[in-house]
Structure 1
């Protein structure tokens, strides 16, 4: 099978609206959390989130693009545009059927749905729906709009696997390229979930943190004081390219995508398997796919959402797989800074892994000041401050409602 490399990246996150700012914020341990401004959250159990800062879609997109798209698609277009520019690709010089888009979004146009249905009910159920209601709502519109904007006429679709969504998209893009079905695929994920309906639904599940008075320290993966996840928003984009194609055009190669895998817990609608069975197996399958051993992994970006049960089941999975081979392995949870971007989480955490490899730095897990006493003593979790470390192989974990486990593995590029 063909090798697959990363030649472009783009990020739109609560801690930075481009790759460099995002990465600088991670290694400096900055939190993107604050009180919700998208609506008045006073009536909600959770009143905080990690929103984008200083983002103005009109600086990147034309009026018609904004009018016809939900924020999740706007975020996708901006992040994908950054990644494509970063790659230096000239699509006009390529066969358009050799290029494609595989994009992910867990919720799609939640804001569009909420606004249109609210207007319908407030107008005494008189149907005055926008002709853009359905196109703005459907989750595949982000991949469609990216392909339209850049003339990418090959493989094009959207993945949905809850919080594993963008890792699923990355894995699918990886497979299509190594099978020889495409030369270049723009992949990643976007989410715009900070709406009354979305926040209200997660509040009803008691899934989110209620530490409303201290937003910047509310998301605390692996800490004894964690009480639920912090919602985030944004997008992450990667340009995946067939190795020989990238070499032929003298592209900058950031890392190699070495392996990926998915499993299902087949256990519970929303809870992860308490012993991490499916997660451990997915990690093992991903390493086998990459032709790597457990002792090769230097850094693991944990899914770790700051929920009491989820964090520990992931650590059990890591312990189950790595056993006593953990001296070399360092773990961190960047959601402590970005919040949980749901379907976009895997994409920005993949970028964090790539940057960790490139810069030999493990980003920290901020707010981890009182580690849960149940954490296995042999695990090296990087707390509070970033750590310098040579990283040849990095793994990114994602787990989603429905029992989806999606793992991707990156390695330092060597020609």
Structure 2
């Protein structure tokens, strides 16, 4: 009997704001919300962006005057909206109009040698061959150049890429805990996984005490590693900048660090850990490991996530050199004007010119069905399958191939076998990779259309949330998954509002691609699709909480389910207490540096088990009967 991997918590942060309790999703569909929900969403974002203040008594303006939710919307609504989603890259990252760089110059002597004075400390050793050096009475040195000399001077240049999906303006994850020397992606890891854990509504200590220590797993990482100045980026720049490499830059720069930070500073986990990278499908790669760990019984609790902070000039330069990013000039041509709307930079399935880079941190907490019922955990959905296939022989590493056809077809077939053909044909949707490149709009729409034809699906609802939050590389399919959970909750498929119409070359005969939010009745399954660079194709199957609860009722007796519902009430209230606090700016970050350390010398080790100080249960060696038929 396979265990069901149930999503009991989720959280994180991206350009739409906080993910838990569907706040980020609500920002995407804010035009379709009722007044109370819309105003609550704006108030929470207003606090995040520091446009308004908040405390336990309520919301205030910057002068301390009380504000109602309606007043927040009326006075600050537009300002709050402008501080979220894709927008012009803010100067806290770098100045896109005057991006720092090094201008190479050849200094040529004219009518005699060029000379200058430097201190002893600045004198290079060994001296360049073209230098003639003499000491001055002051102790400084005069340098004469008899030949041409190559020098570099600080300069700036205009960055052709002007927009990105950035965390809400003024929201600095590093200010929420003691983040000294942490690269930004690791800061986002800490705050993102904290959000996910609090959304569960069950104290982590209770969860940890309910299972064996080796039945907890963490699968997390990122694609681009940590490439800012506190990570590998600073390490590689230090010599060119005349600085020194720190002892932290290399280890903190590794792409496994998100999992390592969660284990060491958040959960205190001694169970399984891992990080699988698959370009833009990385979140789904890690989710697949989490699903299989629970289905097999190896793990009972799994934390899955990714955190990426690629809004740096170097990473943008790299993608721009591939002609992958949307540029200002490209947007000008599309809009036919000199001042295009940068908030509409990402245009999946419309007239577009490249994707929009973004930062994000997304985490989900999975439990097996038995533990979910035992603890009274909330049910946000279930992750039943992730299919991964490569493209085979190909001429270009970036070109699409057959792999994504295989993954999506398998996913649809798996959902059909689990829920029935009616659920797939009438009550499913697709969260597209939707990168906003001209090639993607053709190839992915053709993929959807052909698979829809194979399974006789018509008017298949397609969402593409990169239109709102951009392309966050590793966590991109995490952005899609949490949006799918929002669709389950609110019955809405987010429209692609950054396009005026679907492009002429999109294959849409069997698809429903809308520029406005679309209601969907009784949504039962969402397919999360990802087309990663290099042939890293993945499709995930996420089923709705209503379906999950129906499945639980078939596996467990009415008495067991009644007891579950009773426990669930308290769990839900604790989770909502966190939500209310976070909406008022109390994010309650979990960061346990130097706390509850385990003395490995105090462990008790026998031939049957290991007992670890501070952990409620020992690690038992499970009997191994594998390959029994091959043994003597």
Give yes or no for TM over 0.5: yes
Report matched runs for 1:79-94 at 5 Å.
Answer: 79-92=192-205, 93-94=209-210
Q: Which deviations, in whole Å up to 9, do the C-alpha atoms of 1:82-119 show, x marking residues without a partner?
A: 11111134343233221121013111101122223223
Structure 2 residue corresponding to 1:256, chosen from 379, 382, 386: 382
Q: Which deviations, in whole Å up to 9, do the C-alpha atoms of 1:42-66 show, x marking residues without a partner?
A: 322212111111322245322xxx1
Q: CA deviation at 1:308?
A: 0.3
Aligned to 2:23: 21
Structure 1 residue corresponding to 2:249, chosen from 129, 133, 137: 133
Q: CA deviation at 1:310?
A: 1.4
Q: Separation in 1 of the partners of 2:290 and 2:221?
A: 11
Report matched runs for 1:14-413 at 5 Å.
Answer: 14-19=15-20, 20-28=22-30, 32-37=85-90, 38-42=93-97, 43-53=158-168, 54-62=170-178, 66-92=179-205, 93-94=209-210, 95-111=212-228, 112-123=231-242, 128-148=244-264, 149-211=266-328, 213-223=340-350, 225-266=351-392, 267=394, 270-273=397-400, 277-290=402-415, 291-292=417-418, 293=421, 294-295=424-425, 298-323=428-453, 325-390=456-521, 391-412=523-544, 413=548
SS in 2 for 1:336: helix
Q: Separation in 2 of the partners of 1:18 and 1:388?
A: 21
Q: Which deviations, in whole Å up to 9, do the C-alpha atoms of 1:348-388 show, x marking residues without a partner?
A: 21111122112211111112213211223423334232111
Aligned to 2:13: 12
Which has the higher relative contact order, 1 or 2, with Cα contacts under 8 A spaced 6 or more apart? 1
SS in 2 for 1:159: coil
Distance 1:377 1:349, change over 3 A: closer
Q: Separation in 2 of the partners of 1:165 and 1:297?
A: 27
The worse-fitting range, judged by mean Cα deviation, of 297-306 and 85-94 is 85-94
Distance 1:328 1:259, change over 3 A: farther
Q: Separation in 2 of the partners of 1:152 and 1:269?
A: 41
Contact persistence 1:219–1:367 (CA under 8 A):
yes
SS in 1 for 2:224: coil
Aligned-CA RMSD value: 1.9
Distance 1:258 1:129, change over 3 A: same
Q: Separation in 2 of the partners of 1:189 and 1:268?
A: 30
- TM-score, length-normalised on structure 1? 0.93
Contact persistence 2:430–2:526 (CA under 8 A):
yes
Q: Separation in 1 of the partners of 2:399 and 2:489?
A: 32
Provide runs of 4+ in structure 1 moved above 4 Å: none
Q: CA deviation at 1:330?
A: 0.5
Aligned to 2:555: none
SS in 1 for 2:247: coil
Q: Where does structure 1 lack aligned partners over 5 or more consecutive residues?
A: none
Distance 1:259 1:199, change over 3 A: same
Q: Which deviations, in whole Å up to 9, do the C-alpha atoms of 1:317-373 show, x marking residues without a partner?
A: 112211172325200111000011111101121111122112211111112213211
Q: Where does structure 2 lack aligned partners over 5 or more consecutive residues?
A: 32-80, 98-157, 332-339, 553-632
The worse-fitting range, judged by mean Cα deviation, of 162-171 and 366-375 is 366-375
Query: Which structure: larger Rg?
Result: 2
Distance 1:296 1:241, change over 3 A: farther
Q: Separation in 2 of the partners of 1:403 and 1:376?
A: 21
